[in-house]
Amino acid sequence: MLFQTREFIVYFFPVVALGYFLLGPRRPRLSLVWLVLSSLVFYAIGELTYSALFAASVLLNYVCAQFILHRRGRRRARIMMVAGVALNLAVLGWFKYIGFLAQIFGLPAPEGSASYALPLGISFYTFQKIAFLVDCYRGEVTAVSFDLYAVFVTFFPTLIAGPIVHHKEIIPQFRDPRCHHFDAQDFAAGASIFMIGMFKKIGLADNYARFTNPIFDAADHGHQPPLLESWAGCLMFTLQIYFDFSAYTDMAIGLARMLRIRLPLNFDSPYKSVSMIEFWRRWHMTLSRFLRDYVYISLGGNRRGRIRRYANLIITMVLGGLWHGANWTFVAWGALHGVALAINHLGVGAVARPAHALRRVAGWGLTMVVVITGWVLFRANSFAGAERIYRGMLGYNGIYLLPQIAQRLGPLRPFVDPVQPSPTIGDGTATDFVFAAMLTLLGIALVLLFPSTQNLSERRRLGVVVLIFGFCLQHIVANGPADTFIYFRF
C-alpha cells in the first residue's frame, strides 16, 4: 500500500490514528499493540506472501536480544549476537543476493531462487534489527519489552523505505505517555509535511519518470541515445530520484509526526553540497549513519593508519552500493563514491567546508559531476546500457535535434545528425521537448534555491499545503493507482 493512494489516505491511516489516540490515554500499552497490528496489516497488504516470515523474524530477533541482554558470560552473548546478525544477513542474502553470488562463482543459482520476489522493505528492517542486536551486545540497551521492540521494528511509516531509525530515537518516545495523546498542533504540522511530500511525488518525481524510464530502458535494449537525449535522461533521473526519495522521507516523517513521533532527519538538500563528504551527510542520512557506525567502525575506521582508513571507506561504500541492489552497476556506483570520498578526505579537490566563494563553487561543481554521472550507473540495468548513455552524453551517438530546430542552425546544420532515432522523449514532438526542458529547469531551481521541507517554518509549510492540496486531491481522484517509490525495490 502506497502512502499516496486513496486506500491509505481515506481508510487505513484515519482508522489507525483514531484507534491509537482512543486507546492511548487510558491503555498506552494496548495502543502500542494496536499500532503493531496495524503495521503488520499494512505490510500484509503490500506483501502478503512474506508476512509470516516478517512476523517470525521480529519474534526471533527479540528472543536473540533477550538472550544477549540476560547473558551469562560475554562469550555466550557474543556467539548469540554473531548468530543473530548472521541469520538476518542470511535471509537478506538468500532473497537479494543468491543469484548474484552464484553468478560471481560461476555456479548455477539454487533451484527456485529465481522465482522469489524480494520481500518488501527487507533491506531497511534488516539493518534496524542488526543494529539493535549489536547495541544489546555493546551494552547500549538495558531492557525492552516485546511491545516496544515490535513497534520499533514494524512502525509502518518507516517499515518499507526508512528512515533507518535507531532504538534510542524511537523507543523512548513510545515510553512517554504524552505520545499517546492527540495533539492538534503536531497533527497539523505532520499533515503539512506529508502533503508537501505527496506533491513532490505525484507532481514532480512521477513526471520525471515519464521521460527517464523510456530513455534508460531503450539504452538497456541497445538504443544509442544522442547527445541531448542522453543528457535529458541523466539530468531528469538526477531530479527524479531527488524528489522521489525526498517525497518518501517527508511523507514518513509527516505520518509519524501526526502520531506524535519525531523521526530523524534523513534528507537535507543534498544537491547543495560542496563536497562528497557533505553530500553523504545530507543524502540518506540514516543509511550513512548505519554504514559509519556498524560497518566502517567495525572494519577499524581510522584507527589503523591512513591507508587502512581509506581502504575501509571504499569498502564501506562498495557495500553500501551493493545494499542498493545485487548488480555490478551498484557495486561500481558505490566504488565511485568511495573513491571520491577518499580523495575528499585526502584534501585533493574540494574540501568539506571551503571558505572562499570561488572554492565553494568549484567544490559544488566537482561534487555534482560525481553525483550526476554516478546516477547513470545507479539507474542503468547493465554496464552496456550505462555505456550507451555515457557515449551519448559525450556526443559519440550523434547530435539529433528536432527538424524545426535543426533547420535554423545555419552553418552548424552539418554537425547535426540528420537521422532521427527512435523517439524516447514523449512522442518526440517539440511540445514534449519543451515540457521536458521546462520541467528540468523547474527542478534545478527547486533543489538549489529552496530550503528542505524540515527547514521551512510551520507557518510557511501550512501556506504551501493550502496551495497544493487541491492539486494532490484532484490527481488522486483522477489517476487512480500511483507509481511506486524508487527505494521500494531495495
What pLDDT was estimated at residue 349?
A: 47
Would you call 324 a catalytic residue per the annotation? yes
Do 267 and 486 form a contact (C-beta atoms < 8 A)? Answer: no
| Residue-wise pLDDT tens digits, 68-126 | 988 767 888 899 999 999 999 999 988 888 888 877 777 776 655 554 577 888 989 99
Mean per-residue pLDDT, 205-214: 90
Do 416 and 399 form a contact (C-beta atoms < 8 A)? Answer: yes
| Residue-wise pLDDT tens digits, 314-349 | 999 999 999 998 899 999 999 999 999 999 988 754
What pLDDT was estimated at residue 462?
A: 63
What pLDDT was estimated at residue 173?
A: 94
Q: How far apart are CA 129 and CA 148, in angstroms?
A: 13
Q: Of 91-105, 142-156, 218-232, which range is least confident?
A: 91-105
What pLDDT was estimated at residue 436?
A: 80
Maximum average pLDDT range among 110-119, 245-254, 296-305, 420-429: 245-254
Residues of the chain above pLDDT 90, percent:
53
What pLDDT was estimated at residue 32?
A: 95
- Alpha carbon separation from 420 to 241, 363, 416, 433 (Å, rounded): 29, 38, 10, 14
Kindly report the average pLDDT of the chain as a whole number.
85
* Confidence grade of residue 364 (pLDDT, cut at 50, 70, 90): very high
Do 32 and 147 form a contact (C-beta atoms < 8 A)? Answer: yes
Q: Is the Cα torsion angle 122, 128, 129, 130 positive or negative in sign?
A: positive
Q: How far apart are CA 474 and CA 284, in angstroms?
A: 31
Mean per-residue pLDDT, 428-451: 80
Question: What number of other Cβ atoms are within 10 A of residue 113's Cβ?
Answer: 13
Higher pLDDT, 227 or 35: 35
Q: Of 157-161, 297-301, 428-432, 449-453, which range is least confident?
A: 428-432
Query: What is the total residue count of the chain?
Result: 490
* Sole residue written with cell 547473558: 71
Residue 372 has pLDDT above 80, yes or no: yes
Catalytic residue among 180, 223, 324, 337: 324
Residue 203 has pLDDT above 90, yes or no: no
pTM for the model? 0.88
Nearest partner of 45 among 76, 9, 78, 8, judged by Cα: 8
Q: Is the Cα torsion angle 462, 467, 469, 475 positive or negative in sign?
A: negative
Residue 480 has pLDDT above 80, yes or no: no
What pLDDT was estimated at residue 350?
A: 44
Residues of the chain above pLDDT 70, percent:
83
